[in-house]
């Protein structure tokens, strides 16, 4: 399935979710077909880029016609595995963990939350969304029994250092990392997506005070 897909650069991969969003919107507006030119205009990119990006995965369009919105969305859904349910745990149910757990529709993006953990006795046992928070001491046993593949880390850096190593031992293969710990540096081969909100905020600060560059920054 992924065998007939060429080598794809990260630049392309990072644009896929944006295509997914725009195509979802088009579908909900009952748009049936769209040309790369028109989509490019809506998204603020070039038509060339869209055609190049999509052709990394296959020829989803038709000459003289363009792309069928539903078909293209379906293809990108498949490429992104958004209909999958990768067993996922969340660790650290503080402000950020709670927000992520209740705010993000994991099920619509290829993940299924099967457990939430914290070390604070005041949080353990409480219900967040549809989950009862368990103590992080029970994590190892939980992993042996339930084999989570993905972990969302909403914990401080120090905790992330030891926990990520333990989780990798126990079979976790991908991290959605809100901590400041650079998991990938010490664990090559593990899949990591970092969410560095502080970095994003500092970038905003730079752009606010150096507006010359902002033009290039907006479409990102």
Partner DNA sequence: TAGATTGTTAATCGATTAACAATC
Task: Give the residues lining the site for DNA (CB under 7 A).
Answer: 9-12, 35-37, 45-49, 51-52, 54-55, 59-67
Name which of residues 151 to 210 contact a copy of itself (CB under 8 A): 173-174, 176, 180, 182, 184-185, 188-210
- 29 is a contact residue toward a copy of itself (CB under 8 A): no
Q: How far is the CB of 211 from a copy of itself (least distance, A)?
A: 6
- 47 is a contact residue toward a copy of itself (CB under 8 A): no
Q: How far is the CB of 204 from DNA (least distance, A)?
A: 19
Q: CB–CB of 93/128 below 8 Å?
A: yes
Q: How far is the CB of 22 from DNA (least distance, A)?
A: 14
Q: CB–CB of 116/97 below 8 Å?
A: yes
Q: Which two tokens stand for residue 16?
A: 């896929």
Question: How far is C-alpha 67 from the geometric centre of its chain's CA atoms?
Answer: 25
- 147 is a contact residue toward a copy of itself (CB under 8 A): no
- 40 is a contact residue toward a copy of itself (CB under 8 A): no
Residue 176's DSSP bridge partners are 152, 193
Name which of residues 48 to 107 contact a copy of itself (CB under 8 A): 79-82, 84, 86, 94-96, 98-100, 102-106
- 112 is a contact residue toward a copy of itself (CB under 8 A): no
Give the C-alpha distances (Å, rounded to integers) separating 125 from 32, 33, 115, 171: 48, 50, 12, 25
Residue 23's Cβ-side half-sphere holds a number of Cα atoms within 13 Å equal to 23
Q: How far is the CB of 14 from a copy of itself (least distance, A)?
A: 6
Distance CA 9, CA 188 (A): 18
Element housing 32 (H / E): none
């Amino acid at each position: 399935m992924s065998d007939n897909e060429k080598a794809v650069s990260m630049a392309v991969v990072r644009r896929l979710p944006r295509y997914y969003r725009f195509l979802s919107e088009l579908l909900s507006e009952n748009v049936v077909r769209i040309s790369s030119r028109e989509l490019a205009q809506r998204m603020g990119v070039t038509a060339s880029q869209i055609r190049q990006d999509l052709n990394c995965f296959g020829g989803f369009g038709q000459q003289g016609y363009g792309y069928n919105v539903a078909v293209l969305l379906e293809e990108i859904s498949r490429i992104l595995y958004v209909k999958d349910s990768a067993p996922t745990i969340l660790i650290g149910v503080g402000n950020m963990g709670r927000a992520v757990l209740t705010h993000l529709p994991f099920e619509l993006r290829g993940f299924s939350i099967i457990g939430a953990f914290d070390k604070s006795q005041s949080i353990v046992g409480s219900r967040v969304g549809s989950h009862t928070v368990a103590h992080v001491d029970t994590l190892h046993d939980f992993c042996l029994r339930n084999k989570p593949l993905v972990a969302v880390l909403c914990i401080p850096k120090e905790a992330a250092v030891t926990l990520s190593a333990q989780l990798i031992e126990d079979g976790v293969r991908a991290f959605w990392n809100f901590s400041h710990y650079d998991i990938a540096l010490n664990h090559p081969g593990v899949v990591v997506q970092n969410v560095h909100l502080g970095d994003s905020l500092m970038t905003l600060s730079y752009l606010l005070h150096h507006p010359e560059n902002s033009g290039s920054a907006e479409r990102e």
